[in-house]
Structure 1
Amino acid sequence: MSNLSLAIKSLFVVFAFLAILIALPAVLFGVIQKWQVIFLLLGYLLFFSGNVWRVWRYGKLSKTNEDAQFKDFSGLVILAGQFIAILIIYWWAIYDFSRLAKTETVWQVVGMIILVSAIAINQLAIRTLKGLFDCITIKPNHHLVTTGIYSQVRHPVYLSYVLFLVGYCTILQSFVSLVISVVSCTIWVKNRINIEEKMLIEKFGDRYQAYQHKTKKIIPFIY
């Protein structure tokens, strides 16, 4: 299968998730016509366009069962919990939004800024990693990337995922979904980073440990 065919297939997957997570609940709760929902739909497409670009440029991603988190029992349990949490977060946020008598402009602006930041960070990270953007797996041509945004944080892609969810919940002004996002993402990201960094230390040894000392995990200058 050509890279273009793989990219088209990847785009259809994005559309499927977009329909399940945002469009379907928006239709059911009668808010599909709201500009906030339309903005989120477009934001979702932009956010995951980096995945589509990566597949088109460098070929297919590794199989899901090759991801180290799927091979770790605790990681697999956390992944299952995160999947359930994601469904609750997206649907509950739309439900909360549909019940609002009026929206607060300040929170919508803050949410939009967070969402745009998430998109920018995600695009920068993917284009810096290029063909190495993939599951948690070591490839034959694997090399350590410490340039660009990776000179500031070691896991900017995970940061972009967290920011995207926070921005989504903030725009829709759903406190319940926001709390669930923070809790579930903290557990998921911590587990995923631990597994990934253990693998990278085994591969690159002192080089990666030196890189760890120079950078933060996910939040610049903080953590």
Structure 2
Amino acid sequence: METTSVLLHSKTIPFSFTISHNNSRKLSLRHSNKQFQSRLSNNNFLFGQSLKPIKNQAELPFSLYQSTSSLKITRTHLLSPPKCSHSGSASTDGSQNHPFLKPFKNLSLDELKATLLQLTPIDIIKWSGILSIAIAATKWTVNLVLNPFFWMYFSWTWLFWPWFVAILLAVYGLYCFYKHSIGEASIFEQFAIVTSVFTWLTLVPPAHFNGYLQGWPFVFFFVYHYFFFFNVSVRKRLYGDYYARPHDPKWDLHPPRWSRLLFCVGVMVGHWLAALEGPELHLIPGGWSNVGIWILILATLLMQYNSTFYLAKYSEKVVVPIAVVQFGPYRWVRHPIYSSTMLLFATYFLALRAPLSLLFVVAVCLMYYAQKAKMEEDLMIETFGEKYLEYMGKVRYKFIPLVY
């Protein structure tokens, strides 16, 4: 076989390249900076030529040598040649060291078959359920993202208060409530309980029926917080912290558990009915038509704060009364704290323009607070006797002046 050796020299991209044709195939890349060499391997005859860089690009030195044993092409290379190796089997070192492929390194069909045979019917049902939920969640997410109506009606409410945040807050609130029931909840966890409840009372129902939030729901979300934290703020004012003091447990009066549960459910249902009954939020008028709502809000907050403060002033450790309170709001009704709570709910429903829901929640509050007020009055009569009976004769109304 006749072998041809071609010597090429380039000024711009010099490199060295050698190809040999023998009984064994050989491929090599070799660095050469100054000269090209052509060697005849059979008779050890060497032809050499030293080439100089070409100054004129038009000039192209070309040499052709013929041999019967080998063909070599040599060009200078400015950079170090890459290291190449050729073997009969593909290298798998990179794949074996890949972190994602390590679990499948020793995986075989027999091991997979043995693992599948070990699955019990319960395991199959469990993994099938997990796979079904994952597929359903993925399908729902894709449909939601690709739905043009979702983006058309997407509002700032989704950015500041998306649904999944409300759900996560509810779950965390239930966890904090469990810790509170066993006496291990911190101040932050107690605050999380209140925030999660008020979220699902004032924010979630209007957002569900309107698709967005604006106006009164945001206002009452903060008003509810301010209203129900007057009790701990009074503790902070009197004692310098927010914690309740140890006291006689007989003053911890609570109606039966079923009654408290029905009250909580009734209040929640009343707020959802108000969001359903009222007009869309953007149809609720603003401006001077809401002056009465703001007056009721201020009256509610003042009534709650004065009632709590007078009760704490004439009580030991805020809870245990040391005298019959007859000042402030106690001059008009015997249980002004409960009255202010009902007034707060009524103001919220009036703001949403939901009168039927207002009547429903007032009825729920009257039934619950009447039961609780009866328990408190019996204990006050037992403690103060004629003094409290005289007070009951002077202030005949429990919750609503001139009505009830």
Structure 1 contact 114–166 (Cα < 8 Å) conserved: no
Query: Which is helix-richer, 1 or 2?
Result: 1
Q: Percent identity?
A: 22
SS at match of 2:265: helix
**Aligned counterparts of 1:62 and 1:27: Cα–Cα separation in 2:** 42
- Among 210, 217, 220, the alignment partner of 2:398 is 217
Q: Residues 180-206 of structure 1, C-alpha deviation per residue, up to 9 Å, x if partnerless?
A: 112112211221211111111011100
Work out which of the residue numbers 124, 129, 137 in structure 1 matches 2:311. Answer: 129
| Higher Rg of the two aligned structures | 2
Does 1:69 find its partner at 2:250? no
Q: Name the residue aligned to 1:205.
A: 385
**Structure 2 CA distance for aligned equivalents of residues 128 and 32 of structure 1:** 41
Shift of 1:147: 2.1
Residue 110 (str. 1) matches residue 295 (str. 2): no
Change (3 A) 1:122 1:6: farther
TM (normalized to structure 2)?
0.46
CA distance in 1, matches of 2:231, 2:200: 18
Kindly provide the amino acid, as one letter, of the partner of residue 303 in structure 2.
I
Q: Which runs of structure 2 are paired with 1:2-151 in the superposition (5 Å)? A: 8-30=188-210, 32-57=212-237, 58=239, 59-60=243-244, 67-70=252-255, 73=256, 76-97=257-278, 99=280, 102-104=283-285, 108-130=290-312, 132=315, 139=320, 142-151=322-331
Which amino acid in the other structure matches residue 355 of structure 2?
A: F
Contact (CA 8 Å) 1:89, 1:177: kept in 2 or not? yes
Secondary structure of the structure 2 residue equivalent to 1:153: coil
Per-residue deviation, 1:90 = 1.4
What's the C-alpha RMSD, in Å, of the aligned pairs? 3.3
Q: Distance in 2 between matches of 1:133 and 1:168?
A: 33
Maintained 8 Å contact 1:68/1:195: yes
Alignment size in residue pairs: 212
Q: Which has the higher strand share?
A: 2
Deviation, structure 1 residue 149:
2.2
Residue 68 of structure 1 aligns to a residue whose secondary structure is coil
CA contact (8 A) 1:152 1:220 kept: yes
Off by >6 Å, runs of 4+ in structure 1: 61-66
Distance in 2 separating the partners of 1:133 and 1:111: 36
Residues 195 and 10 of structure 1, relative CA distance in 2, 3 Å threshold: same
Task: Tell me, yes or no, if structure 1 residue 187 matches structure 2 residue 363.
Answer: no
Q: Which segments of 5 or more consecutive residues in structure 2 lack a partner in the other structure? A: 1-184
Q: What's the CA shift for 1:162?
A: 0.9
Q: Tell me the TM-score normalized by structure 1.
A: 0.78
Question: Kindly tell me: are residues 202 and 65 of structure 1, through their superposed partners in 2, closer, same or farther at Cα, counting changes over 3 Å?
Answer: closer
Please tell me whether the aligned partners of residues 122 and 156 of structure 1 are also in contact (alpha carbons under 8 angstroms): yes
Alignment CA distance shift 1:118-1:134 (3 Å): farther
Cα pair 1:29 1:98 within 8 Å, conserved: no
Query: What amino acid is aligned across from residue 302 of structure 2 in structure 1?
Result: A
Distance in structure 2 (CA, Å) of the matches to 1:89 and 1:125: 25
Asked if 2 retains the 8 angstrom alpha-carbon contact of 1:108 and 1:170, the reply is no
Name the SS for the 1:208 alignment partner.
helix
**Structure 1: distance between partners of 2:210 and 2:281:** 12
Cα contact 2:210–2:281 (8 A) shared by 1: no
Question: Does 14-23 or 92-101 show the bigger shift?
Answer: 92-101
What letter corresponds to residue 67 of structure 1 in structure 2?
Answer: D
Paired amino acid for 2:231: N
Which structure 1 residue ranges, 5 or more long, are not aligned?
Answer: none
